[in-house]
Amino acid sequence: MNNADLIVATLEAAGIRHGFGVPSGNVLPLMEAMRRSCEKGAGIEFVLTAHEGSAGFAADVTARMTGKPGLCIATLGPGATNLATGIGNAWLDRSPMIAITCTLNEAQLGRRIQMWIDHHTLMKPITKATMRLEKGKIAAQLAEAIRIAMTEPQGPVHLDLPEDVSIAPATESVPAIQPPAALPNAPDAAIAKAAEVMKSAKRPVAVIGTSAMRMRDPGLLRAVIERHGLPFFSTTMAKGLIDEDHPLSLGCIERSKRKVQRKLIASADLIVGLGYDTIEVEYEAWAGKVPVLDVSIEVPDVDASVTLAHTVTGDLDSSMARLAALPAIANTWNLDEITTHRTAFQASLRPAVPRFAPHQAIDVVRRVLPREGVLAFDVGAHTHQIASQWATHAPRTFLITNGWSSMGIGLPAALAAKIARPDLPVVCMLGDGCFQMTCGEVAVARRLGLSLPIVVLDDRWLSLIKVKQERREYPYYGTTTLAPTDLPPPAHYFGVPAVGVRDAESLERELRKALAAPGPTIIEAVVDPSHYTETVFD
């Protein structure tokens, strides 16, 4: 066994089953160890992506879907810089990840030679730790890297692997994988003070945030909400932690028609942040003058304008369990008021339009995709619309970035979700600009035989930037992605069949066929984006 075998065996012991990347000569020893691991049993399968950035995105989403660290692999220099985009995503979206860059032999490190850069300086701002793997220390380094990645707040750890280290004979055994360091429980006094703060409120609202996604028992959130009758909002990434069909659900904050949500929040007298992470959106952007009770894993980063009534900081499952065990706290909300608001909010997202609109396409996909199905989508104007409009029914079925907010995540996220959970239907929905960034990844779906509909909302614009230009009264410049044309899409992209639709009925028909297909299908839905001007920022 060489050190590459030891690395793979250790990562396998940590529950990792897939590693995403793009090879080079320096990567080959690690890939060969992965191949041998698969021959022996379950192993770790190497998944070739079209771009290292996609490998990072896929590793991030794999971690979200499995609860184990994601794994991505790249070569030195340009491979590392490409991979950094996906690593940054895991850093700000709080996903555990092991990111390995396979580099030169030890004696060559630091020299001014082809492709070498200081990977540790590159990775330090976007990882929890960065270290060079060394002979005789690999088992301890890997065990520590996994522990760091899995400890809250979770995130990526970068490992630099010199080629001569990877092929050297292993002198160590596979280490025991220790559980991550547990967060301390919040003091009882903090819970008691939280109870007093909630009891004094007449119109409290809860906002569930992204840190709650990593709770061991997310059902505790629902227990708190129902125990105290709290109407609740969700941030974009936290949607589905409680079924949005719940009668106390008020929808998503800070996306399309955000002013409708802000108006209701302004009528509250307390905001209860449950697992809220300001990496998604800072409190001062939407909380106004309403006091905040923050219950999370970290003290929140707040501006001086925010009235922080109290904080409960510690293990989130423990805090939620104790809040749910408190005597029920009364408030003056009634279900009719909540239902009326929810209905009006959803209606505001769907203005009357003369042509096929994004909101109509989104409704079709939601209607066709089963309740337990997974939606992966991308960053742009459609993100705002989907986040506000889409009803999410279960955790880990709504995949997007909101901390890093990078275009290009949609397709790699969908691939990772389908690989991690082949039993679930998965749909990818993205804009034409995002599709142009990562369209090469459809070849990965074809190669792996993944049943994956890819719905491209083709509006021929970078619509989010177009709306921002309108708001600033700038002329349109540099935001048209394709020349307007009535030509049909090509017959295929990289061997993946492509079909064009221009209305809701055609989209529904083609989407149902695509979900039943043995491989991926690209559905180009040409839409009129004009309602984004009305919905995205109002």
Q: How confident is the model at residue 162 (pLDDT cuts 50, 70, 90)?
A: very high
Helix, strand or coil for residue 46? strand
**Inter-axis angle of helices 316-324 and 188-200, to 10 degrees?**
50
Q: How confident is the model at residue 484 (pLDDT cuts 50, 70, 90)?
A: low
Residue 483 has what pLDDT?
62
Kindly state the average pLDDT of the residues 462-483: 84
Token pair 């590693």 in the structure block, residue: 19
**Contact assessment for residue 158 and residue 127, using Cβ atoms and an 8 Å cutoff:** yes
Kindly state the average pLDDT of the residues 60-83: 98
Residue 71 has what pLDDT?
98
Residue 11 has what pLDDT?
98
Q: Where are the beta strands (DSSP E) in 213-291?
A: 232-234, 249-252, 270-274
Is the pLDDT at 236 greater than 70, yes or no?
yes
Q: How confident is the model at residue 536 (pLDDT cuts 50, 70, 90)?
A: confident
Which residue in 404, 537, 386, 377 sits closest to 468, CA to CA? 537
Q: What is the mean pLDDT of the chain?
A: 96
Please give the share of the chain, as a percent, with pLDDT higher than 70: 99
Token pair 């991926």 in the structure block, residue: 520
pLDDT in tens, 24-58: 999 999 999 999 999 998 899 999 999 999 999 99
Mean pLDDT check: name the lowest of 152-161, 243-252, 452-461. Answer: 452-461
Sheet-wide strand order for 129-132: 45-48, 18-21, 70-75, 97-103, 156-162, 129-132
pLDDT in tens, 505-523: 999 999 999 999 999 999 9
Is the pLDDT at 355 greater than 90, yes or no?
yes
Q: How confident is the model at residue 462 (pLDDT cuts 50, 70, 90)?
A: confident
Mean pLDDT check: name the lowest of 237-251, 369-383, 481-495. Answer: 481-495
**Contact assessment for residue 280 and residue 236, using Cβ atoms and an 8 Å cutoff:** yes
Is the pLDDT at 206 greater than 90, yes or no?
yes
Kindly state the average pLDDT of the residues 177-192: 94
**Inter-axis angle of helices 358-368 and 381-389, to 10 degrees?**
50
pLDDT in tens, 271-309: 999 999 999 999 999 999 999 999 999 999 999 999 999
Domains of the chain, with CATH numbers? 3-167 (3.40.50.970), 188-343 (3.40.50.1220), 349-535 (3.40.50.970)
Helix (H) / strand (E) containing 310: strand 308-313
Kindly state the average pLDDT of the residues 246-267: 97
pLDDT in tens, 392-420: 999 999 999 999 999 999 999 999 999 99
